[in-house]
Structure 1
Amino acid sequence: MDQIIDFFKHILNPEWIIANGGYYLILAIIFAETGLFIGFFLPGDSLLFVAGIYAELLAESFFNMPLVVMMTLIAIMGVLGNIVGYWFGRKTGPILFKRKDSFLFKKKHLWQAKEVYDKYGGGAIFVARFLPIVRTFAPIIAGIVGMERKKFMFWNIVGSFTWVFSLMLAGHFLDKAFPTLKEHLEWIIVIIVVITTLPVAFKMIFGKSGIHAHFDEFGNPIETPKSEEQEEVKP
């Protein structure tokens, strides 16, 4: 049991992932975090940034592959992950809204992802790439609501490549500009986590949308009672 707990502690640490699993584990994590609902807790953003910092070491351990090829393969895994999520949503998604919450499954995450989808339409797949937790469930929601496959694939590909390339290149070039960057990785990871989760947390706490601001014990949204002014019918 202690070994399992230690593993989950390590799997949230980008440095440990790169040092022990290397490029192969990065590919697996990006695939899982972008398409499998049990992967919502994995460190996608910080992992990509740190991978950019250690790009040269990763390249040496993976047949000296050029950075652009490495980033492309990671982006493709992100695309494939979303495809799996979309397929899962098409086939079994409606069942999830009737499922009770568990340790690994929280229905409120589905509703939060749906809110982003309803607001941005097809572009939600792109926007969700940069939102932890939401990016895991966005393709599933797209499948549930029957988003057009061509539209989904367009935003899926554009979003995945933009997400991967922007974060990895940022880490790579910042490391070149500031050679001592590796000495402050813990703080950098904390900053990335705060920046990327802040929009989600802000929306959850201060969001004006009543349907997703409150949830019952089963994870279903609770409608916020309308005020007297809202209930008045204008002539």
Structure 2
Amino acid sequence: MLDVWDFFQHLFNPRWIFLYFGNTALFIILAIVFAETGFFIGFFLPGDSLLFTAGIFGNDLCKNFYNVPFFVIILIVASVAILGNIQGYWLGYKSGKLLYKKKDTFFFRKKYLILARIFYNKYKTTALIMSRFIPVFRSFAPIVAGAIRINFKKFMIYNVIGALAWTFSIMLSGHYLDKSFPQLKNHLEWIILSIVLITSFPIIFKMNKKKIII
């Protein structure tokens, strides 16, 4: 029987999610995507590597979910990502000012909120698209958008574009790379590590540039 501690220990191993949960793996993916984009506590979740792995295991996901086309699976994930950002927007809209006064906890780091605001101020609403591909910013960008109360209609346009671009590009990359190189599954850990390093670089660079104390 899998307890809560074991689950969190394995949560950062996307391959384990697919192998262990089988028929319900898609629901775990949806829960993680929503949490990562809808709540600031989701900033540590493995969004990019999870979606890439979902693409590699795309055929299994389709078989375990009524044999729907992989295109439909991606649309479902994108829809949940859109809903997650809406949740993040309203979280920021209702309590954004209070978050800046909130003390750091294991699930919340104010420096990430500040970084997201710097990022948002620089790129404006297009930050909602760009942030989809950058961990931490992905969680905090919609909260910042809500906190500064940008027009919700404008927010939704960039929210939808960003969600579709993020899910389709990463999941299709994994899907078609697996078709071309089936042996990818044997080196998945190295691929995931590479994705983590590549996507984390902008955060490290921004922190050093702004001299934000970690």
TM-score by structure 2 length?
A: 0.95
Question: Who is 1:97 aligned against?
Answer: 100
Q: Where do 1:81-230 residues align within 5 Å? A: 81-205=84-208, 207=209, 209=210, 213-215=211-213
Which amino acid letter does the alignment assign opposite residue 177 of structure 2? L
Residue 3 (structure 1) shift: 4.2
Give the counterpart of 2:58 among 55, 59, 64: 55
Paired with 1:88 and 1:28, the residues of 2 have a C-alpha distance of: 18
Paired with 1:7 and 1:176, the residues of 2 have a C-alpha distance of: 30
User: Cα deviations across residues 88-147 of structure 1 (Å, max 9, x unaligned)?
Assistant: 111111111111111111111100110110000000101100000111010000000011
**Which gives a bigger RCO, structure 1 or 2 (Cα 8 Å, sep 6+)?**
2
Question: Is residue 52–residue 172 contact of structure 1 (8 Å, CA) maintained in 2?
Answer: yes
Root-mean-square deviation (CA, aligned residues, Å) is: 1.4
Percent of matched pairs sharing the same residue: 51
Looking at secondary structure, tell me which structure has more helix per residue: 2
Report SS of the residue matched to 1:125.
helix
Paired with 1:3 and 1:204, the residues of 2 have a C-alpha distance of: 36
The runs of 5 or more residues in structure 2 that have no matched partner are: none
Paired with 1:113 and 1:99, the residues of 2 have a C-alpha distance of: 16
Report SS of the residue matched to 1:188.
helix
Question: Is residue 18–residue 25 contact of structure 1 (8 Å, CA) maintained in 2?
Answer: no
- 1:39 partnered with 2:70: no
How many residues are aligned here?
210
Paired with 1:171 and 1:113, the residues of 2 have a C-alpha distance of: 28
Which amino acid letter does the alignment assign opposite residue 187 of structure 1? W
Which amino acid letter does the alignment assign opposite residue 69 of structure 1? V
Paired with 2:7 and 2:25, the residues of 1 have a C-alpha distance of: 15
User: Cα deviations across residues 33-69 of structure 1 (Å, max 9, x unaligned)?
Assistant: 1111111111000000000000000111111111110
Question: Who is 1:25 aligned against?
Answer: 28
The runs of 5 or more residues in structure 1 that have no matched partner are: 220-235
Paired with 2:205 and 2:5, the residues of 1 have a C-alpha distance of: 30
Question: Who is 1:223 aligned against?
Answer: none
